[in-house]
Structure 1
Amino acid sequence: MNYRTRIVSSLSDIGQAAWDELVAAQANTNPFLSFAFLDALHEAGCASPETGWQPQYLTLWHGGRLEAALPLYVKSHSYGEYVFDWAWADAYRRNGLEYYPKLLSAIPFTPVTGSRLLARNPDAEGALIDALCELQAQNGLSSTHILFPPERQARALQEAGFMLRTGVQFHWINQGYRDFDDFLATLDRKKRKNIRAERRKVQEAGISFRHLHGAQVSKADWRFFKRCYDRTYAAHYSTPYLNLDFFLRIGASMPQNVLLIMAERENKPIACSLVIHDQNSLYGRYWGAVEEVPCLHFETAYYQPLEFCITKKIRCFEGGAQGEHKMARGFLPQKTWSAHWLAHPAFAEAIEHFLEHESGGIDAYIDELEERNPFKSGADTSG
């Protein structure tokens, strides 16, 4: 099949129906790949040329039909990616070379594995990779980075000359638990005791919770959440990536995927967390509080979402980037992938050697983590 290649700087040039139809055809999809989520990031100005995220989506067409696409950005920095290449950029700088701008395929500010090579069939996927390699050869940029693809797509990119990098996240798997106590019963005694103690502290502090689904979230609720979100970033001396306009947009355009968990004392909100979900997976995203209450973070960002997963029979809870502390709460290590291509031969060779060494360290780290499995011996923890 002959495809027409087109670089798209605005999703509106593709249209929601065409984009979401292509996304729905993928084996590894999630709400973050939807038109609603990506368009909200762009239109709210969070991922835009002004913030260093210039959309340059690579698309393949046959007639008037979208056959394949790669979410792609020209980046002028490495913020908001969760696969860190700052040292690579610094090495370029110290040798008088420009690392930025670079090409990046990712969902901005979202370390969630999902299809990056969006294609209707293997032929279209192969043509998309070929088009990406041709684009790399023509654009004169330092490098291309594909973040959080599924392993199969990472391997396909490796065959096309990309170098692979691995990382670790922590995911909770629902083994068909009847309720939260049924889940707790599978943990070893110390972990089970600690979780019960943490939950009891929150209860004794007089905290109650409301689960607000999509359309139930008012503008005032979003304003309070944004206040909490900003406080979390300020506590880490960071600048928040997302604005109120973005949150209002996803609340209106994808309410079926939005859950806001509100913590209250005497009917006054004091903390909240935002999770995104579909029928199969729940994704922990953001949390914040305006009061310091012992263990409130664990209850709002972990235990309340876990209860939601059990009630709704959601299979997996992805806890986000990093965080060994999640293991004590039933989350287990999972390997993540990224693929990298660098134009400069000497730097490509040096980074290839670095990644080989790093990969061995990641494998050893996962083995070490698995030895600290929080579940009782004999408990089924398979996904």
Structure 2
Amino acid sequence: MPIKTLTRLDSLAPAEWDALLPHAQPFLRHGFLSALEASGSLAPGSGWQAEHFVLEEGGQLQAALPAYRKWHSYGEYVFDHGWADACRRAGVRYYPKLLCAVPFSPVTGPRLLAPRLDAGLALLKALPAHLQAEELSGAHLNFSEPALDAHMASLPGWLERLGCQYHWHNRGYRDFQDFLDALSSRKRKQMRKEREQVAGQGIDFTWHQGGELAEAQWDFVYACYANTYEIRGQAPYLTRAFFSLLAERMPEAIRVVFAVQHGRPVAMAFSLVGDGCLYGRYWGSLADFDRLHFETCFYQGMDYAIGHGLAHFDAGAQGEHKLIRGFEPTLTRSWHYLLHPGLRNAVAEFLEQERAGVQAYAEQARDALPYRQAGA
């Protein structure tokens, strides 16, 4: 079966690509990935070049592996800058490399898109020869889901890396008060106080689906998003056009909450929804308000998940401050195939030690969770 690479996802029909998806997570949909490319968020000069692997049989798409050739390590959320720096000091080339992931989105989910496992594994087994032929230093598959992990562990040469995120789980709560009742008294009072502080500033919240927003509202969304980068002296990853294109291509998956004061929006949080999960992605505010970040990004999302029967709220990478608000430590996995034997051996040794540390941290982090102990 012939394997080829695509540098433009728009060269495939959306229905053809989406037919490969095992479930309704939005980040692997043709609409999301193609909007990144068409909007210029992955434009030449960005350090990203689409290089999607696809396998066809009889003119029909059988399997796909979303992938990108990269000339840096930004926007990945699995940090290998130290590996690249070690290569630079040793005179070993690290870039370009191949990344199998969703750009700018540290979300666990499908990476190998294949209804038939044998077709999907054929793509993975073809990667080492492709790396050699294209003079790429290695391949990196980030935030894989458990269904793939067992197969990755059996493939020679792939190194496992663990990470830790913080996710909230809706355990059938009737409303936000029902969630608060599951917490210790001190933590319950803290959350109530934070919410009261925001309400006391005259701030209300309105939720919208993607198709409900006008371009002027998307201008505000982008201004807030870009501001979170600008205050750190960085350029935003996404272009303004991305938000409009995504609203055209998959509006039903978009949720935006606006924080409104005196009839004027002052902050927003942008999320996607699918497969029973709310995925909090981008947030921003054009002015400083006490505790507004926690309310907009966390408590509003919990409220929405409870009200709409969503079982899971993934509010993004990092952030130990999520623990005391009920977000539980969750292990993530990535896989790395490195051609240079010296680099591979050094990274393998490092990852063995790092895995033990991450697992120990995830266990210890549970002590910071605010939930009442059994019998308390």
TM over 0.5: yes
* Cα distance in 1 between the residues matched to 2:368 and 2:348: 31
Partner of 1:93: 88
* Cα distance in 1 between the residues matched to 2:364 and 2:100: 31
Give the paired residue count. 374
Is it true that 1:167 corresponds to 2:163 in the alignment?
A: yes
* Cα distance in 1 between the residues matched to 2:275 and 2:352: 37
Tell me the secondary structure at the aligned position of residue 119 of structure 1: coil
Partner of 2:15: 17
Partner of 2:333: 337
1:273 pairs with one of 250, 269, 273:
269
* Cα distance in 1 between the residues matched to 2:175 and 2:238: 34
Partner of 1:103: 98
1:203 pairs with one of 199, 202, 206:
199
Partner of 2:307: 311
Partner of 2:253: 257
In structure 1, runs of 5+ residues without a counterpart are: none
* Cα displacement (A) at 1:245: 0.3
Query: Does the aligned pair in 2 maintain the 1:58–1:132 contact within 8 Å?
Result: no
Query: Does the aligned pair in 2 maintain the 1:169–1:319 contact within 8 Å?
Result: no
Partner of 2:63: 68
Partner of 1:78: 73
Matches within 5 A, 1:20-39: 20-23=18-21, 26=22, 29-39=24-34
* Cα distance in 2 between the residues matched to 1:154 and 1:88: 23
* Cα distance in 2 between the residues matched to 1:276 and 1:265: 24
Matches within 5 A, 1:196-235: 196-235=192-231
Q: Which amino acid aligns with 1:324?
A: E
Aligned identity (percent) is 42
* Cα distance in 1 between the residues matched to 2:96 and 2:275: 38
* Cα displacement (A) at 1:99: 0.6
Is it true that 1:284 corresponds to 2:280 in the alignment?
A: yes
Tell me the secondary structure at the aligned position of residue 103 of structure 1: strand
Partner of 2:148: 153
* Cα displacement (A) at 1:88: 0.5
* Cα distance in 2 between the residues matched to 1:165 and 1:313: 33
* Cα distance in 2 between the residues matched to 1:326 and 1:357: 26
Tell me the secondary structure at the aligned position of residue 315 of structure 2: strand
Is it true that 1:237 corresponds to 2:233 in the alignment?
A: yes
C-alpha offsets along residues 70-124 of structure 1, whole Å, 9 cap, x if unaligned?
0011101111000000010001100112111001111000000011111112211
Partner of 2:131: 136
* Cα displacement (A) at 1:157: 2.1
Structure 1 residue ranges (4+ consecutive) displaced by more than 3 angstroms after TM superposition: none
* Cα distance in 2 between the residues matched to 1:151 and 1:164: 12
Q: Which amino acid aligns with 1:152?
A: A
Tell me the secondary structure at the aligned position of residue 118 of structure 1: coil
TM-score between both structures, scaled by the size of structure 1: 0.95
* Cα displacement (A) at 1:295: 0.7
Partner of 1:361: 357
* Cα distance in 2 between the residues matched to 1:318 and 1:283: 5
* Cα distance in 1 between the residues matched to 2:171 and 2:246: 30
Partner of 1:301: 297
* Cα displacement (A) at 1:31: 0.2
Is it true that 1:40 corresponds to 2:35 in the alignment?
A: yes
Tell me how large the CA RMSD over aligned residues is: 1.3
Q: Which amino acid aligns with 1:15?
A: A
Partner of 1:124: 119
C-alpha offsets along residues 114-152 of structure 1, whole Å, 9 cap, x if unaligned?
111111122112212222233223222111100111133
2:52 pairs with one of 54, 57, 79:
57
* Cα displacement (A) at 1:279: 4.6
* Cα distance in 1 between the residues matched to 2:139 and 2:66: 12
Query: Does the aligned pair in 2 maintain the 1:179–1:311 contact within 8 Å?
Result: yes
TM-score between both structures, scaled by the size of structure 2: 0.97
* Cα distance in 1 between the residues matched to 2:104 and 2:63: 23
Tell me the secondary structure at the aligned position of residue 156 of structure 1: helix
Matches within 5 A, 1:317-328: 317-328=313-324
* Cα distance in 2 between the residues matched to 1:358 and 1:136: 26
* Cα distance in 2 between the residues matched to 1:291 and 1:144: 41
